[in-house]
Structure 1
């Protein structure tokens, strides 16, 4: 596996090297076992997020403060709105399903792509600009390399792209900081190995190529978990066990800024709010001792911080 080369040309720089401009606040002391799956609905002006291990989907309207919750028979991990129909496409333990919060009821499975991998569950995922829902599976025990990366197309086809992960997270996309619209990249986290990989992403076909190691995170800095991209192309990456979200140059992977949190297990991040300048951050409390919980009382909370550049609206599923 080749490592990402750093060319001798002058690296791209955003206008601001201090992208965090607000104070971090805990907007919900939710005590989630495993908060994840952040999705800002532009059409509803509301935030959806999940507690995977509690099997719950949550919706929060920051303007009114209204909250809603749905509990399922199995784990729910990632979400995307539907472009041509009401409701959501979600990943449950065994694959992709449809769920309409307005109607309730049980989710309806679309695909269960790995019935033979009984120790797996689905984890993180999101849609690309063409409405394809990319999601990864993982070993529930976080030990076996049984996870894989899948793509659900708008026409309903489900394709396995890569295999051999213990825990998958991401993906996110960037055109690169130099704004070359002819070349688009997808980034994907191999969490247990502490690595973020970059692929050339063909928008027309949905195929991936030229996999390179974009960043290996330093020991003691946590492991790369969920991530997102802002309008400048910068990547924002949650650090499981690292108590932070870091912001990176999309070309060189250089760290540009860091948001420090008062709890260690940081799981995901997504842009939202009226102008998409609020970075929402989810955390977890799973596996923590009583002493750790006493030292980190906001573990499992939902956090927010304002930044200098808007994020990109979440792409809906095209089917």
Structure 2
């Protein structure tokens, strides 16, 4: 573990093309994340410093834990939702709501506290607004929740389950929805944060125990903590220009793990950012919330 500052450690010095979707497993005491364009799924054990990986056949958007047990994940890829047994590498097809849209792929996603997995799609050929947000229930049902999406990101919820956050990265906005937890419904979309005019765009997010949103600004080289009413509370400058997503982990859920990317960086950029594509741990002085499991 190389020390960068009093706040930030590089825990895995790598070259992920597009590190994304970090998920801390309380059950295992390990961190999972993906290189979307590797494509591969990684598992890191901070107790032993061991890192394992499983190559995947397609671009990966996001992953979530499953209630089936240790090493069991749900994974959103180019052609829909799959189950992954990390220890064997076995994939099990679950569903593909966009089999008729070959240019689309899944991107960011997360499990809610009722065991549902939410993930959005995007056009990976052009940045046309052909994407949608889906809710996958534990019984296998798939429901389209909204459409007209360019690049979906920042799927997460307030601690009291009354607010869902969602970003359309290329529209440079994070929205809030009123979240109806029992039904898994969303309503009343409102602007939460607009990043137009800033260097970076909103990528992956997580929420801490105090209800503040932490957002990785892709291209902006920073992670920003927002108050529940959308004001900037804190800015953490990262040693890379493309932080991509974040999640709380560690035994006390008080470490913010941040993924990053190398895609579209020039040779000069990579020379200036030797840790681009690495995984970072940030001591932010606040705890997060445990990541829920997918019930399917």
Q: TM-score range by the shorter chain?
A: over 0.9
Helix, strand or coil at the partner of 2:87: coil
User: How big is the shift at 1:84?
Assistant: 3.9
Aligned positions, number = 291
Task: Select the residue among 196, 200, 216 that pairs with 1:238.
Answer: 216
Which residue number corresponds to residue 83 of structure 2?
98
8 Å contact from structure 1 (residues 142, 166) kept in 2: no
CA–CA separation in structure 2 for the residues paired with 1:213 and 1:152:
25
Unaligned runs of 5+ in 1: 1-20, 176-180
CA–CA separation in structure 2 for the residues paired with 1:281 and 1:232:
19
Which residue number corresponds to residue 105 of structure 2?
121
- Report the CA distance shift for 1:61/1:306 in structure 2 as closer, same or farther (over 3 A): same
Task: Select the residue among 114, 117, 120 that pairs with 1:133.
Answer: 117
Which residue number corresponds to residue 224 of structure 1?
202
RMSD of the TM alignment (CA)? 1.4
Which residue number corresponds to residue 33 of structure 1?
17
8 Å contact from structure 2 (residues 123, 150) kept in 1: yes
8 Å contact from structure 2 (residues 261, 276) kept in 1: yes
CA–CA separation in structure 1 for the residues paired with 2:166 and 2:92:
27
8 Å contact from structure 2 (residues 173, 191) kept in 1: yes
Which residue number corresponds to residue 278 of structure 1?
255
Helix, strand or coil at the partner of 2:63: strand
CA–CA separation in structure 1 for the residues paired with 2:208 and 2:285:
10
Matches within 5 A, 1:11-160: 22-86=6-70, 87-105=72-90, 107-160=91-144
CA–CA separation in structure 1 for the residues paired with 2:247 and 2:56:
23
CA–CA separation in structure 2 for the residues paired with 1:48 and 1:96:
17
Question: TM-score, normalising length from structure 1?
Answer: 0.88
Alignment of 1:194 onto 2:178: no
CA–CA separation in structure 1 for the residues paired with 2:61 and 2:145:
20
Helix, strand or coil at the partner of 1:192: helix
Task: Select the residue among 273, 280, 293 that pairs with 2:270.
Answer: 293
Helix, strand or coil at the partner of 1:210: strand
1:33-62 per-position Cα deviation (integer Å, ceiling 9, x unaligned)? 000010111111011110000110011101
CA–CA separation in structure 1 for the residues paired with 2:17 and 2:9:
19
Unaligned runs of 5+ in 2: none
8 Å contact from structure 1 (residues 22, 305) kept in 2: no
- Report the CA distance shift for 1:85/1:61 in structure 2 as closer, same or farther (over 3 A): closer
CA–CA separation in structure 2 for the residues paired with 1:56 and 1:307:
28
8 Å contact from structure 1 (residues 76, 91) kept in 2: yes
The structure with more strand, counted as a fraction of residues:
2
